[in-house]
Amino acid sequence: MSDIEIRPGSPELDEQRDAFVRAHPRGSFFHLAAWQRVIRSVFGHRRQDLLAWRGEQLVGVLPMMQSPRLMGGSNLISMPFAVYGGVVAMDVEVEIALLAAAQELGRKLGVGRVELRTRDAFDCESEPGATGLPELHPGSLYVTFEKDLPEKPEDVLAGMPKKARAEARKARNRHELQLSHGVWYVDDLYRLFLRNKRQLGSPGMPSRLFFAMIEEFGTDCEVHLVRRGKEALAAVMTFAYGDTLLAYYSGTGEGVDREYSASNFMYMALQEWAVERGFRHFDFGRSRRDSGAMSFKQRQGFEAADLDYRYLLVRSKQLPNFTPSNPKLKPLLDTWKRLPLWAVERLSTSLARYLP
């Protein structure tokens, strides 16, 4: 690997780096420099990008940020607050070089772990006799959901499972739900999102994060709102990446799924909207394995795919296990669910940066 040089990234290289990411099959929306700019501006996380070069040719990108831990110290994460991340490389040799450099940087910074949010296992893991490859610990907490979109909007409803199709049709015809879009719905989204996070016993995000994303991502970011008359029932923020639409932050009002099947309708109508605008793929994002969110997405006709996250343990002795099923967290979750919404908002603003 003597012909490969690993250098830190810099804002001056962002355009070149983004062009490389967009051209690579493992590149994602979260690998782009704009995601880091938002996270840095809102939470203060430090960029720790690693770029691989052969001479003057860029041959690999590993976007990372240094994320603080609540009890002190930090981790290197690729990428914070994101579903996907990890190495984007021209070949196995570059992949190994970037992974080794990430481990070395982790040691230098004294982090707990290097977390690589990869869609799939690295190619170098199946390379026989690979030298210089750090020990990668697999994680199995999450799955993701993606599917190809049909050619015509009316085929979205026809392709849904029978029960979900009936609920979505009832929401449209009987309850007269409508899907609108516009970034001016961001306040509705934030309010609904925060309510849902409290219900789950989890901190939300500060409102400035949503506004920063709208400002930074421009037309690649949209907010969709489900209404019944003038009543806002549900909302979702989406990101556009190539021919894929990603459904990301979302929220629903109390009882609106039970009364009006608002979520069934929202994601059906959102896929129709995506087809009308030429998107070919729909990304429903990640969910914790065996969670209610995972079950909901499966009921919509999406198949779960394992997310092969990888971890380089530096000072940490074990993998993260921040899940509701962790009995150590139950008292905290129960207390959080009882807080008034204003307290959840205020505390979330302080705590969110520690839960990337």
Question: Do 166 and 98 have their domain in common?
Answer: no
Alpha helices in 201-329 (DSSP H): 207-217, 256-260, 262-276, 292-299
Total structural domains in the chain? 2
How much of the chain exceeds pLDDT 70, in percent?
97
Question: Do 235 and 109 have their domain in common?
Answer: no
pTM of the model: 0.93
Domain that holds residue 275: 150-279
Residue type, 140: S
Helices (H) and strands (E) in the chain, counts: 12, 17
- Give, as one character, the DSSP assignment of residue 11: G
Question: Do 107 and 39 have their domain in common?
Answer: yes
Question: Do 133 and 32 have their domain in common?
Answer: yes
- Is residue 160 domain-resident? yes
Question: Do 80 and 61 have their domain in common?
Answer: yes
For position 24, which CATH number holds?
3.40.630.30
Residue 1 pLDDT? 46
- Is residue 184 domain-resident? yes
Residue-wise pLDDT for 282-309, tens only, equals 999 999 998 899 999 999 999 999 999 9
Among 192, 286, 268, which residue's Cα sits nearest to residue 294?
286
Question: Do 126 and 245 have their domain in common?
Answer: no
Q: Mean pLDDT, the chain, as a whole number? A: 92
pLDDT interval class at 86 (50, 70, 90): very high
Question: Do 161 and 121 have their domain in common?
Answer: no
Question: Do 101 and 192 have their domain in common?
Answer: no
- Is residue 290 domain-resident? no
Question: Do 135 and 163 have their domain in common?
Answer: no
In angstroms, how far is CA 24 from the centroid of its own chain? 19
